[in-house]
Amino acid sequence: MEELDRGDPAEVARENALRKARAARKPGVPEAVLGCDTLVALDGTIYGKPCGEREARETLSALSGEVHEVVSGLALLLPDGQRTALARTAVTFRELDQALLDWSLASGEWRGRAGGYAIQGAGAALVRKVEGDYENVVGLPLAALLDIYPELLFACK
């Protein structure tokens, strides 16, 4: 379903979000369906979810000491059409020495995480600075969702 390794990161995230939403939509059921895809990009390279510990090590090593971008695409399918949005956040990693890298990998937290880390958990130790929407790095940019679906505020009482 995901196309993680080619093209502009923003367009990849947006397309993946649309694919996820379309896959979850039930034919003939008039309901809102949200798809979201979050990826990490550094110098034009897209880092999705590592397939194994070796790939996680390579990803975290590449991000070490660098500023990377976390890009999330949102796709909201509604009975009357679709709405999409993008969120971008700059994340600065600290220099990862061997001990910190080994500790992070041993946590297992890299599994199922774009870029091989979870900022809301042990991955916070890898991060020096966040510029932009923190919730985007966690995985669901609420501000961007409310931009495309402000009605959500009134549906929650």
Active site residues: 37
Kindly state the tokens that stand for 107. 């946590």
Label residue 6 exposed, middle or buried (CB < 10 Å: 0-12, 13-18, 19+): exposed
**Contact (Cβ atoms closer than 8 angstroms) between residue 129 and residue 85:** no
User: Which among 36, 35, 40, 34 is positioned nearest to 5, based on CA atoms?
Assistant: 40
**Contact (Cβ atoms closer than 8 angstroms) between residue 36 and residue 73:** yes
**Contact (Cβ atoms closer than 8 angstroms) between residue 136 and residue 38:** yes
> Which helix (H) or strand (E) segment is 54 a member of?
helix 53-63
